[in-house]
Amino acid sequence: MVKKVIDIENVFFYNRKSKVEKLENKVISNFGLKRFLEKTSTKAGFLIIIIFITVALFAPVLAPHDPLLVDVTNKLKNPSLSYPFGTDQLGRCVLSRLIWGARNSLLYSFTVLFATLMIGVPIGLVSGYLGGKVDSVIMRIIDIFMAMPSFIVALAIAGTLGASGKNLVFSMSLVYWAEYARLSRALTMQIKEQSYVMALKAGGCNDFQILFKHVLRNIASSIIALATMEIGSIILSIAGFSFIGLGVQAPTPEWGILLSDSKEYIQTFPSLMIYPGVAIVIVVMAFNLVGGGIQDGLSAKKR
Amino acid sequence: MKYLLKTENLKKYYGKKEVVKALDDVSLAIEEGKSLGLIGESGSGKSTLGRIISCLEKPTFGKISFMDQRIDNLSEKQFRSLRKDMQIIFQSSKGVFDPTYTIGDSIKEVLKNFEKLSEREYEERIDETLKSVGLDPDLKYRNVNQLSGGQCQRANIARALILRPKFVICDEPVSSLDYSIRKQILNLLNEIKEKYGITYLLITHDLSNVSYVCQAVAIMYKGKIVEYLDDTEKIGEKVIHPYSKILYASIPKANPHNRSIVYDKDNERVSELNQIIKGCSFWDRCEKCSEICKKNIPDLKEIYPGHKVACHLV
């Protein structure tokens, strides 16, 4: 009788243990997120990113005023209770414009990132996996796109299709995808040599399964690392292109536009320029911290 | 007599300028229920043969038939349905499982490729197979990095067995394991063979493995089969080919005074596959080499029933 009780306990314990183990493995295999968040700087970066994304998502709720509402009688006011960051040269609320600016800047950057990943990664996967002639043709095409300077392409597209946020996303995606294609090709070629790929083939998996269920999963963490490092520079580029008038157009609130709008007041009213500048610096830094943390985590995993 | 697998004049050449003959005219026949051990030194082409038979690579020339069906000219798609009956166990290493998958998911994927069952039936089948190879079913929730070498190899065997194949190619199944675990795994292979009626092609360079699992043995040298024996008891005393003799003499003896190997240092040469040799591939290392050996390639002749040797001198 006593033995039976113990057995039941054992079974219960085993079931629970296996469930916990299952969960733990899921978390770990989710690209090893656990390890990336170990460092304080990465945690801080992650927190900042989450704050900015939340602000961007809830911009309509959080912004105290309409960012486009012009009230010239109220222009260039110092911070007050109703205008926490003051007003700009047209009497618009700076805080509202910053909040909406976060939404636009992040939206455009993520769109560029998403588009480049969607184009670059599958091309790199197929190129690396098939090899041979297909690979050399694709590589030459990638070389062509790598050779194009993003500034010239943005200029050309703004000149032919007109300067707008959409066209800027298009021209940046056109240049940046090649980098991801190249990285995922190199990583795929590495994974292809692993013996489990042959084992999968012997187990009856077709090429599609091998590529998108196994190879992609194995290279995902490295690509995510590159993407988080890169998104900072994408945010900077979008702000930069908008600043010189090749991207998002005024009066849309976007950090680059905020900067360029305020450039005439740099001596008389410098805070107009400082706020969006600081916002850009903080977000880019946060993304770099997280990207660096992920890369550290990856190299630790490899060791 | 019914043959499960038959290869005829199988050739595999690598490279364009400097041709490496990994396989040179290999004809083999494996009967159902009669596992074959394939022995040879490193670079003799035995793993290549395994990969070609399992259609992971295409032969340069020759015919392979499996269960009375020619398979060497099938495309990967056409061959897929036959993979259910022919599985391969790779040399054990952590690399044989996708590190981002749990063991259970890796095994399930193979099963899902061939059989449509309910989620519950999948789990039951995996648990049953893991038990049959002596693993705790709870290990299916683990990643490959959380398994020991022996467990990993058992999981590897479980993955090959989950489809209940008729024919399993074992490519050096124990060579990267500890001696203590080797015997366990070989015994396991033996048990499974009797339980499910599987025929093995055991590829190994460890001579002592063969008599555990196999009923026939083939010895390879430089991409050729030099000797075939239908019987695995006391192989060392029965072999005739000079290479097989050297191979068997090289088994370490427990008593150092009984060392039988006498090896002429001057004759020691690295066997390179790309070395073009006329005649018998072994003449440059053979003690009894005569003129005819340097001119003609010996055929695999049957000298006793069930005993074939490729040598001019027998």
Helices of type H across chain A: 2-29, 33-36, 40-57, 59-62, 94-130, 132-147, 150-161, 165-192, 195-202, 207-209, 216-243, 255-261, 271-302
Check A25 against B143: CB less than 8 A apart: yes
The first and second tokens of residue B152, run together, are 């990993």
In this structure, the strands spanning B36-40 and B216-221 are: parallel
Question: What is the domain extent for residue A120?
Answer: 104-302
Q: Is the confidence at residue A201, as pLDDT, over 80?
A: yes
Residue A234 Cα, gap to closest chain B Cα (Å): 30
Residues of B in contact with A22 (CB under 8 A): 102, 141
Identify the CA nearest to B147 among candidates B188, B97, B105.
Answer: B97
Cβ–Cβ under 8 Å, residues B226 and B243: yes
C-alpha distance across the termini of chain A, in Å? 51
Note whether A217 contacts B100, CB cutoff 8 Å.
Answer: yes
B14 — contact with chain A (CB < 8 Å)? no
CA distance B300 to B296: 13
Q: A124 near A183, Cβ under 8 Å?
A: yes
Mean of the per-residue pLDDT values of chain A = 84
Give me B29's structure tokens: 């026949």
How close, in Å, is residue A284 to chain B by CA atoms? Answer: 30
Which pLDDT belongs to residue A21?
A: 53
Helix (H, G, I), strand (E, B) or coil at A5: helix
Interface A-B, measured as beta-carbon pairs within 8 A, has a size of 77
Indicate if the pLDDT at residue B218 is higher than 80: yes
**Is 50 exceeded by the pLDDT of residue B207?**
yes
Answer whether B110 sits within 8 Å of A14, measured CB to CB: no
Confidence tier at A33 by pLDDT (50, 70, 90): low
Q: What is the pLDDT of residue A16?
A: 47
Nearest CA in chain B to A199: B96
Please give the DSSP secondary-structure letter assigned to residue A139. H
Q: What is the mean pLDDT of chain B?
A: 83
User: Highest mean pLDDT: which of A106-120, A149-163, B43-57, B198-212?
Assistant: A106-120
pLDDT at A170: 92
pLDDT given at position A81: 83
Which residues of chain A have a CB within 8 Å of the CB of B99?
A: 218
* Residue of higher predicted confidence among B165 and A18: B165
pLDDT tens-digit readout, A116-134: 999 999 999 999 999 899 9
The nearest CA of chain B is from the CA of A214 a distance in Å of: 7
CA distance A83 to chain B (A): 51
Shortest CB distance from A196 goes to which of B80, B97, B102? B97
**Per-residue pLDDT averaged across A100-119, rounded?**
94
Phi-psi region of B37 (alpha: psi -120 to 50; beta: other; left: phi over 0): beta
CA count, 13 A, side-chain hemisphere, A147: 6
- Residue A211, domain CATH: 1.10.3720.10
Mean pLDDT of A201-221: 89
Do A199 and B114 lie within an 8 Å CB cutoff? no
B78 touches chain A (CB under 8 A): no
Number of domains in chain A: 1
For residue A208, give how far its alpha carbon lies from the nearest alpha carbon of chain B (Å): 12
Q: How far is B142 from chain A, CA to nearest CA, in Å?
A: 7
Residue of B100, B101, B123 best to disrupt the A interface, most CBs of A under 10 A: B100
Residues in chain A within 8 Å Cβ distance of B102: 22, 25, 29
Q: Tokens 């890169």 belong to which residue? A: A230
pLDDT of A11 higher than 80: no
| A190, A196, A223, best to mutate vs chain B, most B CBs in 10 Å | A196
Give me the residue from A14, A29, A203 closest to B110, CB to CB: A203
In a domain, A141, yes or no: yes
What angle (nearest 5°) sits at the alpha carbon of residue B286, between those of residues B284 and B288?
Answer: 125
pLDDT for B223 equals 85
At residue A27 the predicted structure's pLDDT band, cuts being 50, 70 and 90, is: very low
Give residue B252's region: left, alpha or beta (phi > 0; psi -120 to 50).
beta
Q: Do the Cβ atoms of A195 and B93 come within 8 Å?
A: yes
Identify the pLDDT of residue B91: 81
Cα–Cα distances (Å) from A212 to A64, A195, A208, in that order, read 46, 17, 6
Comparing A123-132, A210-219, B68-77, B196-205, the range with the smallest average pLDDT is B68-77
Peptide bond into A251 cis (omega under 30): yes
* pLDDT tens by residue, A54-88: 999 999 988 888 888 888 888 888 888 888 888 88
In angstroms, what CA-CA distances link A296 with A184, A218, A225? 19, 17, 9
> Which residue bears the tokens 């809830």?
A58
pLDDT band (50, 70, 90) for residue B264: low
The Cα–Cα gap between B184 and B92 comes to: 14
CB-CB contact of A85 with A96 (8 Å): no
pLDDT value for A1: 44
Percentage of chain B exceeding pLDDT 70: 93
pLDDT band (50, 70, 90) for residue B246: confident
Asked if A214's CB is within 8 angstroms of B98's CB, the reply is yes
Least CB–CB distance from B138: residue in A14, A202, A217: A14
Closest residue in chain B to residue A18, using alpha carbons only: B138
Check whether B250 has a pLDDT greater than 70.
Answer: yes
- Where along chain B do its domains lie? 3-85+165-309
Q: A10 versus A207: which is more confidently predicted? A: A207
Burial class (CB in 10 A: 0-12, 13-18, 19+), B34: middle
Per-residue pLDDT tens over the stretch B48-61: 898 888 888 888 88
Report whether pLDDT(B170) > 50: yes
Q: How far is CA A75 from CA A18, A264, A269, A272, A273, in A?
A: 65, 14, 11, 12, 15
Average pLDDT over residues A19-48: 66
Q: Is residue A209 part of a domain?
A: yes
* Residue A17 pLDDT greater than 60, yes or no: no
The closest alpha carbon to A100, from A291, A269, A276, belongs to: A276
> Residues with Cβ < 8 Å from A192, sequence gap 6 or more?
A128, A129, A215
Contacts of B136 (CB under 8 A, 6+ apart): B130
Q: Using a CB-CB distance cutoff of 8 angstroms, which residues of chain B are in contact with residue A32?
A: none
User: A66 and A96 in contact (C-beta within 8 Å)?
Assistant: yes
The answer to whether B159 faces chain A, any CB pair under 8 Å, is: yes
Q: Which of A25, A195, A203 sits opposite B113 (nearest CB)?
A: A203
* Band (A187; pLDDT cuts 50, 70, 90): very high
DSSP class per residue in chain B: --EEEEEEEEEEEE-SSS-EEEEEEEEEEEETT--EEEEE-TTSSHHHHHHHHTTSS--SEEEEEETTEE-TT--HHHHHHHHTTEEEEPPP-GGGS-TTSBHHHHHHHHHHHH----HHHHHHHHHHHHHHTT--GGGGGSBGGGS-HHHHHHHHHHHHHTT--SEEEEESTTTTS-HHHHHHHHHHHHHHHHHHT-EEEEEES-HHHHHHH-SEEEEEETTEEEEEES--TTHHHH--SHHHHHHHHTSPPSSGGG------GGG-----TTS--SS-TTTTT-TT--HHHHHSPPP-EEEETTEEE--TT-
Fold type of domain B3-85+165-309: Rossmann fold (3.40.50)
Other beta carbons within 10 Å of A174:
18
> d(Cα A27, Cα B225) in Å, to the nearest integer?
51
Check residue A181 and give its pLDDT: 94
Record: contact B90-A199, CB cut-off 8 A: yes
A7 — pLDDT class (breaks 50, 70, 90): very low
A136-147: pLDDT as tens digits: 999 999 999 999
Q: What is the pLDDT of residues A247-292, one digit of tens each?
A: 888 888 999 999 988 888 888 888 889 999 999 999 999 999 988 8
Integer Cα distance of B140 and A11 in angstroms: 16
- Taking the alpha carbons at both ends of chain B, their separation in whole angstroms is 27
**What percent of chain B clears pLDDT 90, i.e. is strictly above it?**
12
- B164 vs A: CB within 8 A: no
pLDDT at B289 over 80: no
- CB-CB under 8 Å, B102 with A198: no
Q: Do residues A94 and A219 make contact, with C-beta atoms less than 8 angstroms apart?
A: no
Chain B residues whose CB is inside 8 A of the A130 CB are none
pLDDT band at A19 (very low <50, low <70, confident <90, very high): low
pLDDT band at A225 (very low <50, low <70, confident <90, very high): confident
Highest mean pLDDT among A26-40, B56-70, B286-300: B56-70
In chain B, residues with a C-beta closer than 8 Å to the C-beta of A194 are 95
pLDDT (0 to 100) of residue B179: 82
Mean pLDDT of A207-212: 91
> A143-151 long-range contacts, Cβ below 8 Å, gap at least 24?
A145/A174, A145/A175, A145/A177, A145/A178, A146/A178, A146/A179, A146/A182, A148/A174, A148/A175, A149/A175, A150/A175, A150/A176, A150/A237
Closest Cα of chain B to A142: distance in Å?
29
